[in-house]
Amino acid sequence: MSAQATSQATSEDTATAPLVAVEGLHTYYGKSHILHGVSLTIGRGEVVGLLGRNGVGKSTTLKTIMGLVYPRQGKVVLEGRPVTALPAHKIAKLGIAYVPEDRRIFRLLTVLENLRTGLDRPGVTDARKQELLDKVFACFPVLGERRNQAGGTLSGGEQQMLAIARAMMLEPKIILLDEPTEGLMPRMVTQIHQIIDALHKEGVAILLVEQNVPLTLEASQRVYIMEKGAIRHHAKSSDLKIGDDVIKQYLGV
């Protein structure tokens, strides 16, 4: 996946070009070099897993794509358009949504107000807003019941649902999903899996960072495996199994 190949891809028909192309990202936190040239692509409506041990730079990759951290080198291309230097709020408007690892619910805002942070965009009619809310409340009935409750009073699983629902309010082309099942009960994990499948059916692409390898392999079409700030392995999810050597080598499971 050289830079040349991707620039050819961007000039092609957008249907075959990747939705998001990340090329050679080098990101630093102060002096520590976190990402050492990360490159990956995500197609339209594709669910892509990003696996790796703790601290290999998976979350930093998501933050760099979202524009929350600026890379020192490399670029992020969305639908053929470089978005690397844009502030996060402009990237969000172009169709990338972010569900962070620690959920980052607005704790003092009600559930409905949390959703409205993504809903009050220019060009969204009131009817469309209601439609999006109805859809999300149908998908997560508990959020509908607690719409006037402060976000901080929800349980961990409910907060995770709210974080995903909030991202859906942006009608994104891709959701960057960082460890959605972390710390959740098994029943909730199943539910998150169903949500990912539902989003996939709707044609929303997902870049999924997870520690739960079986879930990732089931829910995604392709996976990248990271180690020490770089992509080390890339495969179709159906070609990998839990017992495989690559998985053992990079993930230790």
Partner 1 sequence: MAAILSFFADFPIELFFIQTLNGIVTGMILALIASGLTLIFGIMDVVNFAHGELFMLGAYVGVIVLSTTGSFWLALLLAALLVGIFGAAMQIVTLRPLLGRDPLTTILATFGMSLILQNYALWQFGPVARKINEPYTGHFNLFYLEYPWYRLMIAGLSAAIIGGFWLFLKHGKFGIWIRATMQDRVMAQAMGIPVPLVHTVAFAIGAAMAAASGVLFGPLVGVNHTMGLDWVLKAFIVVVVGGMGNLGGSIAAAIFISLLEAYASIWVSPAQAVIVSFVVLIFTLLFRPTGLFVPTPK
What residues line the site for partner 1 (CB under 8 A)?
A: 66, 68, 87-89, 92-93, 97-98, 100, 104, 106-109, 113, 116-118, 120-121, 152-153, 166, 170
The DSSP call for residue 202 is T
Give the shortest CB-184-to-partner 1 separation in angstroms: 20
Helices (H) then strands (E): counts for the chain = 10, 10
What's the min distance (Å) between Cβ of 239 and partner 1? Answer: 33
Q: Which is nearer to partner 1, 74 or 100 (CB)?
A: 100
Question: In the complex, what is the shortest distance from the CB of residue 114 to partner 1, in angstroms, rounded to a whole number?
Answer: 8
Write the DSSP string, 67-90. Answer: TSS--SEEEEEETTEE-TTS-HHH
Q: How far is the CB of 94 from partner 1 (least distance, A)?
A: 9
Angle at 218 between CA 217 and CA 223, to 5 degrees: 30
Min dist. Cβ of residue 214 to partner 1 (A): 29
- Nearest distance from C-beta of residue 68 to partner 1, angstroms: 6
- Decide whether 97 or 226 has the Cβ nearer to partner 1: 97
Q: Residue 190: how many CB atoms within 10 A of its CB?
A: 13
Q: Nearest approach, Cβ of 189 to partner 1 (angstroms)?
A: 23
Give 19 or 170: the residue with its C-beta nearer to partner 1: 170
Distances, alpha carbon 58 to alpha carbons 4, 141, 184, 225, 228, in Å: 25, 31, 20, 9, 10
The CA-CA-CA angle for residues 140, 161, 29, to 5°, reads 160
CB nearer partner 1, residue 124 or residue 230: 124
Residue 209, helix vs strand vs coil: strand
**Is the Cβ of residue 50 or residue 170 nearer to partner 1 in the bound state?**
170
Do the bridges between strand 47-51 and strand 73-78 make them parallel or antiparallel, or are there none, so unpaired? Answer: unpaired
Interior angle at CA 240, CA 200 and CA 42, nearest 5: 40
Number of Cβ atoms within 10 Å of the Cβ of 5: 11
* Nearer residue to partner 1 within complex by CB, 57 or 172: 172
Q: Are 109 and 151 in contact (CB under 8 A)?
A: yes
Select 107 or 248, whichever has its Cβ closest to partner 1. Answer: 107
